[in-house]
Amino acid sequence: MASLPQLSISLLPLFLLFAVTAFYSVDSQSFVGVNYGQVADTLPSPAATANLLRSTSIKKVRLYGADPAIITALANTGIGIVIGASNGDIPALASDPNAATQWVKSNVVPFYPSSDITLVTLGNEVLTVGDGALASQLLPAMRNVQNALATAGLGGKVRVSTVHVMSVLGQSDPPSSGRFRPELEDTLRGVLAFLRDNGSPFAINPYPFFAYQSDPRPETLAFCLFQPNSGRVDSGTGIKYMNMFDAQIFDFEFYCKTGPNYQVQVDAVHSALNSLGFKDVEIMVAETGWPYRGDSNEVGPSVENAKAYNGNLIAHLRSMVGTPLMPGKSVDTYIFALYDENLKPGPGSERAFGLFKPDLTMTYDVGLSNARQGPSSSTVNPSPNPTASQWCVPKAGVSDAQLQTNLDYACSHSIDCGLIQPGGACFEPNTVASHAAYAMNLYYQTYGKNPWNCDFSQTATVTSANPSYNACNYPGGST
């Protein structure tokens, strides 16, 4: 028989989630957020942006500062708002409680609760910028701002955190062995105790895009984009990771020596938190994304890749499968970014992460519209008739090796592949091609009939011809 993936026992609970996670309302997707940067002179007005956000399923917005015009425009929208203080603000906030009180009075109190400010982030990547004095001031600043919020009657309503780059990890291969850098552990213990005591999240910035830039091989790209791949096994637990977002290892020296193991790993962070006794601290992905354009010498930026990464990330979050070490939940994730920031320095890709253009049209569609969960159009496997019944099938001429990869990938993503096992209605014919076709279609039907879910590294296509046969019924119907 065509082989099926050997799943770790720890993954079995994911299959129990299938019956209740196939479809979600917009209200249940509050974990999908977006970063709203302002290093640009082409941005729409805050009021126009608020109207745009109302037309989407985006329920959270992260600001890098505390622009009062934006905060006011988002009032009464039901959108949660993260505001920030810069690294340069930290010394004053740390040394003077009155400065923290004034900051809260200026940036939070006038707007809350009409504007649903939920979190204040102090600084960005403070512990890894190489400024020991600034790092030592982070926790006192966090305490002073949280105390000021409590004094203003907002304790437990507006929380305080900070944002970390993934290099706070010193060990992360395999994910189950994740540890923080030893020289940061003492500082992190204090920060983590603060986060735990106040119910605040540990915020990280994972970017699989940068991993692919350093290792531009097809298998690495598929692993980055949530597309079919052979997966990577955690030698400590036997768990197979199927995408870089769940299982990214940040060990640059190791990566440069060995290749495609440079992976930003949510589970590695979870293990690192656990190693210090803080496994109950929630993880928040403060930034992640993929550019749709870049300079001629940049590897990876394209509309197709950006659409695949962000679209599949959103589908992954909506599925609620979680990660292998944190099954059955989705972490709050803020996609970078709402708009391009045309004044940012650096390579061209830095100015091409926007989901929307200044005229408020989509750069590409990843299914964030309130009207529907799927895109209106796609250059990848477009549906032959959006109102007809549709099925996802392999293209002609695809090798058995690729089909086996597709089969393993689909069946490891919380779908029921029982019908293609012995005794199942779709077991015969007992071929890789037949079993892969059934599993690929079931994956496509389960995850919202989005064109990118019938891509499988460009080896599949959508058809209106029902592939069902005998007693083997392929799920599919009118969209």
Residue 322 has pLDDT above 80, yes or no: no
Cα separations in angstroms, 379 against 13, 50, 307, 395, 443: 35, 29, 10, 16, 20
Across the chain, mean pLDDT equals: 84
How far apart (Å, rounded) are the C-alpha atoms in residues 115 and 111?
A: 5
> Is 125 noted as a catalytic residue in this protein?
yes
Q: What angle do CA 475, 29, 379 make, to 5 degrees?
A: 55
**pLDDT over 80 at 323, yes or no:** no
Q: How far apart are CA 437 and CA 160, in angstroms?
A: 49
Torsion sign, CA atoms 183, 279, 60, 339:
positive
- Which of 121-125, 146-150, 173-177, 303-307 is the least confident region? 173-177
Q: What pLDDT, in 10s, does the model give residues 189-241?
A: 999 999 999 999 999 998 889 888 888 988 889 888 988 888 888 888 888 88
Q: Of the ranges 91-95, 250-254, 262-266, which one carries the lowest mean pLDDT score? A: 250-254
Which among 125, 219, 298, 350 is annotated as catalytic? 125
pLDDT above 70 for 367: yes
Rounded mean pLDDT of 63-90? 97
- At residue 338, does pLDDT exceed 70? yes
Residue 31 confidence (pLDDT) above 90 = no
Of the candidate ranges 145-149, 351-355, 396-400, the one whose mean pLDDT is the lowest: 396-400
Task: Specify the pLDDT at position 236.
Answer: 85
Using the predicted structure, report yes or no on whether residue 413 has a pLDDT greater than 90: no
Phi/psi of residue 42, each to 5°? -120, 10
Span of 38-47, 150-159, 373-382 with lowest mean pLDDT: 373-382
List pLDDT tens digits, range 92-144: 999 999 999 999 999 999 999 999 999 999 999 999 999 999 999 999 999 99
Determine the Cα–Cα distance for residues 166 and 313; give it in Å rounded to an integer: 18
- 17-31, 45-59, 262-276, range with greatest mean pLDDT: 45-59
Query: 228 with 404: CB under 8 angstroms?
Result: no
The model's confidence at residue 388, banded by pLDDT at 50, 70 and 90, is low
Whether the per-residue pLDDT at 19 is higher than 50: the answer is: no
pLDDT of the residue at 30? 63
Of the candidate ranges 109-113, 260-264, 380-384, the one whose mean pLDDT is the lowest: 260-264
Residue 381 pLDDT level (bands cut at 50, 70, 90): very low
What pLDDT is attached to residue 43?
A: 97
> Residue 469: is its pLDDT beyond 80?
yes
Sorted by where each starts, the structural domains of the chain and their CATH numbers stand as 1-20+385-479 (no CATH), 31-351 (3.20.20.80)
DSSP 3-state assignment of 429?
Answer: coil
Give the pairing type, strands 333-335 and 32-36: parallel
| pLDDT for the residue numbered 333 | 95
Task: Report whether pLDDT(70) > 80.
Answer: yes
Q: Considering 219, 287, 298, 428, which one is annotated as catalytic?
A: 287
Contacts of 309 (CB under 8 A, 6+ apart): 208, 209, 224, 225, 226, 289, 290
Take residue 400 and report the two structure tokens written for it.
């058995």
Give the 3-state secondary structure of 337-361.
CCECCCCCCCCHHHHCCCCECCCCC
Q: Report the amino acid identity of residue 205.
A: N
pLDDT for 5: 36
pLDDT band at 265 (very low <50, low <70, confident <90, very high): low
pLDDT at 173: 67
The pLDDT assigned to 88 comes to 97
Eight-state DSSP code of residue 442: H
HSE value, Cβ hemisphere, 13 Å, CA-based, for 414: 25
- Reply yes or no on whether the pLDDT at 263 is more than 80: no
Q: What is the mean pLDDT of residues 312-334?
A: 81
Helix (H) or strand (E) holding 33: strand 32-36
